[in-house]
Structure 1
Amino acid sequence: MKKAIPLFIILVIIFVAPTDAKGNVEPVMPCGLILEPVNNSEINEKGVALIYKVKLTSSFPRTSISIHAIHLLRPSDYGEYDSFEGFSFIENEISWRFKLYPTPEEDGPTWAGRIDDITANLENSKLEVRLANSKTGKVGPAILSNSISLCH
Structure 2
Amino acid sequence: MKPFILVLFLLGSVLLSPAQTKAISSIPIPCSLVLKLVNHSYTNGMGVALVYKVKLTPSFPRTSISIHALHLPAPSSLGDYDRFEGFAFIPDEINWRFKLYPSPEEDAPTWAGRFDSITAELENVHIQVRLSNSKTEKLGPVILTNHINYCK
The answer, yes or no, to whether TM exceeds 0.5 is: yes
> Which one-letter code corresponds to 1:148 in the other structure?
I
What is the aligned residue count? 135
CA drift at 1:41: 2.2
| Superposition TM-score, scaled by structure 1 size | 0.84
1:89 partnered with 2:89: yes
1:104 partnered with 2:113: no
Secondary structure at the aligned position of 1:120 is classed as coil
CA drift at 1:123: 1.7
After TM superposition, the structure 1 stretch with the greater mean CA deviation from structure 2, 38-47 or 122-131, is: 38-47
CA drift at 1:43: 2.4
CA drift at 1:56: 0.4
Correspondence for 1:69: 69
Structure 2, unaligned runs of 5 or more: 1-13
Deviations 1:94-150 (A, max 9, x none): 000000000111322100000000000112100000000000011011100000010
Structure 1, unaligned runs of 5 or more: 1-10
Correspondence for 2:8: none
Deviations 1:16-59 (A, max 9, x none): 49555xxxx61101100000001122221000000000000000
Secondary structure at the aligned position of 2:72 is classed as coil
Change (3 A) 1:93 1:41: same
1:35 partnered with 2:35: yes
Secondary structure at the aligned position of 2:49 is classed as strand
Correspondence for 1:131: 131
Change (3 A) 1:57 1:17: closer
> Which one-letter code corresponds to 2:121 in the other structure?
N
Secondary structure at the aligned position of 1:121 is classed as coil
| Superposition TM-score, scaled by structure 2 size | 0.84
Cα separation, 2, equivalents of 1:50 and 1:132: 21
User: Matched residues, percent identical?
Assistant: 61
Correspondence for 2:116: 116
> Which one-letter code corresponds to 1:76 in the other structure?
S
Q: Which structure dedicates a bigger proportion of its chain to helix?
A: 2
